[in-house]
Chains A and B, each alone.
Chain A
Amino acid sequence: MRLRHSDLHGLTGVYALDALAGPELDRFTQHLGGCPGCEHEVRGFRETATQLALAVAATPPAHFRPRVLAAVAVTRQLPPEVPAARPPRARPSWRAWGGWFPRLATASTVVLAAGAIVAAVLLGIRQSHIQQELDQAQARSRALAAVLAAPDARLATAPVNTGGVLTVLASPGRHEAVVTTAGLPALTGSKVYQLWFVAGTSARSAGLLPRPVDGRTAPVLATGVVRGEVVALTVEPAGGTRKPTTRPIVAVPVR
């Protein structure tokens, strides 16, 4: 059954409240591009809905803010859309609203990968064997990018007991995880931060955290993780240990 124009116009309300789904949503989204009246009405309804949102504002728990800011610190931003980059025939303008909400995983993944490559390259050129290091860095960033691009990759961030946050992006399918930290307190003496994969009561080392730069550690790629295990962090003597000798200061389950 084809909807008449007037029927479509009547969908402004349900569209503005995101109560439209399936083919009807597609049809209406298309219709919006050529219906300035609908666009205007939807805009007013959305502003109205914003008031409904403000009416239920609530203060998030205390750990929320550091978590968000830590995630921001490791997330690259989308570039602005410049006219030249657009296809000649632009999509209907309301489509652009849709364009505001691309899937987080895909884009942040690419973006994180780019950041990882830059970090790896920068780390690489500080060394004497530049070419060799670059090769290694590239191999490493390819490995990082693969995890970041994995469809099952899931991002989790948790506050560390002693301060700062730990961020884990794990792909159980690839049995790999990328770990970064921000704001961990500097360790005294020759102590190091060591990562572990914990299954029940047994723990195996997942590597040492590199020294932080500007309070953040470069991404560590840890392999061999299994869904259901926990990524944990402990403070250990220089060089790390085979088994944890202190209690974990943070633990993040891999889902």
Chain B
Amino acid sequence: MPRRQSAPHRRPIRLPEDSEEVIMSTPDGPAFQPGPRPADGREEDLARLLARVARGDERAFEAVYEQLARPVYGLARKVVRDPAQSEEVAQEVLLEVWRTASRFDATRGSALTWAMTIAHRRAIDRVRSVSAATQREQKAGAAEPPDAEAVEDTVAARLEAERVRRCLDSLTELQRESVTLAYYGGYTYPQVAALLGTALTAIKTRIRDGLIRLRDCLGVS
């Protein structure tokens, strides 16, 4: 039996920890508030879908695609930048999810994180290879085509992004820069240290401290 307040008026009033956060609520409906992701019912579904995908179920893969395509493609774009190469990377990642679904082990972490770990590594592999670096430099001057699809971004995704942005803002500048250069920039930590003109040891510590603070802010268990 899930724990639930049966009568709305008995629900204890929770004040937002961050007074800047806007709590949206209706008199009878549940309050929307930032915090841990909504119970990750979606996550469970993804793990179940992966089990079906592992058995060769292409319909299940289509459902997996619906959940993963945007995060995977978005991360590839963020790290790789070049649209054509990002697409290649994203396709490789989704194919990898299809191919290795049987190797997903729910005891090691969530299905979404399993997939996004693949995605990040693939994107990193791409930007760290020499040829890709050359191509990136060559294309650096070219203007990127307008991202028409970005308009379709759902309200939920925008709220999600806003929540992460606020948590990133709660880090020190050095922590934030180290984490984002490493994750979104795809740089190794010695490269991050060079970019920020900081000692190697300090960067290791900043990244770890930053992640701890981010983890707690985002409510990751």
Residue of B nearest to A93 (CB): B108
Within 8 A of A (CB), among B71-106: 71, 73-75, 77-78, 83, 87, 90-92, 94-96, 98-105
Give the distance to chain A from B168, nearest Cβ to Cβ, in Å: 8
Binds A, one of B7-15, B17-25, B156-164: B156-164
By secondary structure, the B interface counts as helix
CA distance A50 to B94 in the complex (A): 16
The reply on B126 being an interface residue by CB < 8 A is no
Q: State the interface size on chain B (CB cutoff 8 A).
A: 80
Binds B, one of A63-71, A144-152, A226-234, A246-254: A63-71
Q: Do the beta carbons of B124 and A18 come within 8 Å of each other?
A: yes
CA distance A73 to B94 in the complex (A): 12
Give the distance to chain A from B144, nearest Cβ to Cβ, in Å: 12
CA distance A49 to B182 in the complex (A): 11
The reply on B28 being an interface residue by CB < 8 A is no
With A69-B65, A100-B114 already in contact, the answer to whether A16 and B98 are too (CB < 8 A) is no
The reply on B208 being an interface residue by CB < 8 A is yes
Q: Do the beta carbons of A10 and B208 come within 8 Å of each other?
A: yes
Chain A contacts of B215 at CB under 8 A?
44-45, 47-48
Chain A contacts of B137 at CB under 8 A?
none
> Which one, A12, A68, A107, contacts B94 given CB within 8 A?
A68
Binds B, one of A75-83, A125-133, A190-198: A75-83
Residue of A nearest to B185 (CB): A19
Q: Do the beta carbons of B218 and A57 come within 8 Å of each other?
A: no
Chain B contacts of A134 at CB under 8 A?
none
Q: Do the beta carbons of A71 and B103 come within 8 Å of each other?
A: no
Q: Do the beta carbons of A11 and B103 come within 8 Å of each other?
A: no
With A18-B124, A48-B214 already in contact, the answer to whether A56 and B75 are too (CB < 8 A) is yes
The reply on A35 being an interface residue by CB < 8 A is no
List chain B positions with a Cβ less than 8 A from chain A: 37, 54, 56, 58, 61-62, 65, 69-71, 73-75, 77-78, 83, 87, 90-92, 94-96, 98-105, 108-110, 112-114, 116-122, 124, 128, 147, 149-150, 152-153, 157, 160-161, 163-165, 179-180, 182-184, 186-189, 192, 203-205, 207-211, 214-215, 218, 220-221
A-B contacts, 24 listed (Cβ < 8 Å): A13-B211, A14-B182, A14-B204, A18-B124, A19-B207, A20-B188, A48-B211, A48-B220, A50-B110, A50-B113, A53-B120, A56-B78, A58-B77, A60-B70, A60-B149, A61-B149, A65-B69, A68-B65, A72-B95, A77-B101, A97-B108, A97-B117, A99-B103, A100-B114
